[in-house]
Amino acid sequence: MVCDNPFLILDGAHNPEAAMILAKSLRDIIKNRKIGLICGMCSDKNALDFALSFRGLANQVWIVPIASERNIDNDVLKAAFSFPDCKVFAGELNKVFKEANRWAISTDGAVVITGSLFLVGEVIDKMESGILRWEVKT
């Protein structure tokens, strides 16, 4: 957990089994809050089964490319997350991060960055260098 006002959580889950554990933990930790995911994955992972772990849990999903030649096509990942009551968008990480931060503040929601260790590592690097900043709720 990087921040709790609003919540920002980084989790390296990148397969269906890890996604199920993450989803269960989120249900226990983030009670009665909307949950948004920033997700990027490798193409050799089972995106559909990964996404199904968040069905009925995620209200918003932002799909981002990962910095790897194994990056999954955005349309494939968007389709995996296309379930009722979930809005799915795709974009570049820096822009999506800001959008997700604004969404979390306005909805009192929680944002979870997941799907790839490549993505989590990139976010950590960009946060440490000041490229990405998570604004707190005042």
Q: Are 80 and 5 in contact (CB under 8 A)?
A: no
Mean pLDDT of 120-138: 95
Does residue 15 surpass a pLDDT of 90?
yes
Q: Can you name the residues that pair with 114 across neighbouring β-strands?
A: 39
**Helices in 1-138 by DSSP H: which ranges?**
16-29, 47-52, 74-80, 93-107, 117-128
Mean pLDDT of 38-65: 97
Q: How many CB atoms lie within 10 A of CB 40?
A: 28
Report d(CA 78, CA 119) in Å as an integer: 16
Domain covering 3-128: architecture:
Alpha-Beta Complex (3.90)
Nearest residue to 9 via CA among 111, 125, 77: 111
Mean pLDDT of 56-71: 95
The model's pLDDT over 82-116, given as tens digits with 9 standing for 90+, comes to: 999 999 999 999 999 999 999 999 999 999 999 99
